[in-house]
Amino acid sequence: MSITVYPIPHQLLTSPYLDQLYAPMANAPGLTIRRIGFRSTLQELLLQRSARIAHWHFFDELTQVPAAWQTAARTIAFMGLLRTLRLRGVQQIWTAHNIEPHELRHPAWANRAYIAMLRTANAVIAHSQAAADLLRRRYAVQAAIHVIPHGSYVGLHGPRRDRRESRAQLGLPADEFIALNLGTFRPYKGLELLLDAWQDMPGQLLIVGGAKDQAYASQLKARAALQPNIRVQPQFVPDADLPLWFAAADVIVLPYRKLLSSGILLWALSYGVPVVAPAVAPVQELISEGQQGFLFAPESLEELRAALWRAINHPQLSALGERAYQAALPFDWPTIAAKTAALYRAVAQRA
């Protein structure tokens, strides 16, 4: 059987996830990956009759917008699209990267969209058993959920770099403790909590990444300006430069309020940096307290401060970094791609 798969969206501008997932499938027998624009994807899905799969990765930007009436209209249209695709014989798979939209403007409509996807999809992919369990509890929908891990980024942009050289290149002090938060500035990431937690901490806190909302970035910079050892740097960091930043950091801090899976967490592990992260079940499948990093109760200022102090005072952070690196090694993309391709074939055969 020949199967055509249409990833939606067809590319991610700030993540190599889709490139890494689909590159090993280039020569998979009987499988064609069509990474084309959204309108062209819909045209081919609706008009063709051959075996075809819509693999949804992210759809929140199709539905959630600031205006409530527009979000309602978009969500109703999206739900209608899912039904239409099903009626046209299109098999649908959803990879649940998030438990809810990051910019959750209208929760009731987001809930409807997620339930519709869970009910419509022929299969759902979660990146961990904990993530699968969270989805089932949150939405109380019976769905076929398959656990296929998020791949690591070990060696993607070269080997791990020298700490002292990386700091010199970035103009950072050679011997100070440096905590780094890296990634696009977005409210769900809990950056305000991190700024509050860094009160009276030794060393430096760097918050670096692109800004989707310039006003939000300005607010963060204004808050950071009150403390001399915090630097908020709104700049997009290309993937090729990530190893440089990771090498310069003692720990990566992820003060997320909610987390189902995280690309930057896998990046940090892949380049051997201990992580300060919320003690939610998907994180705890990768990180144990004092082994690959430090855990805190989500949204707890006191626990985040305590976790940061444990990191600052730990005598062997390099050993934690090595264990973090070892934790990332099993998650190779060829194996993950093979499992995903096998799911495509199983779904198509059941059609």
CB-based contacts of 324, cutoff 8 Å, min separation 6:
268, 269, 272, 273, 274, 275, 287, 292, 293
| pLDDT at 255 (0 to 100) | 96
d(CA 282, CA 285): 5
CB-based contacts of 335, cutoff 8 Å, min separation 6:
none
| CA dihedral (290, 194, 101, 15) positive or negative | negative
What is the set of domains in the chain, with CATH numbers?
A: 3-151+332-350 (3.40.50.2000), 163-328 (3.40.50.2000)
In this prediction, residue 5 has a pLDDT band, given cuts at 50, 70 and 90, of very high
pTM, 2 dp: 0.94
For 123-169, the pLDDT digits (tens) are 999 999 999 999 999 999 888 999 999 999 999 999 999 999 999 99
d(CA 118, CA 82): 11
d(CA 46, CA 281): 39
Sheet holding 91-95, edge to edge: 31-33, 3-8, 52-56, 91-95, 123-126, 145-147
Cis geometry, peptide bond prior to residue 29 (ω within 30 degrees of 0): no
Cβ contact 128:90 at 8 Å: no
In sequence order, what E strands does 44-128 have?
52-56, 91-95, 123-126
| pLDDT at 211 (0 to 100) | 86
For 221-272, the pLDDT digits (tens) are 999 888 899 999 999 898 889 999 999 999 999 999 888 888 999 999 999 9
Chain Cα centroid distance, residue 136: 19
| pLDDT at 95 (0 to 100) | 98
Burial of 302 (0-12, 13-18, 19+ CB in 10 A): exposed
67-82: average pLDDT: 98
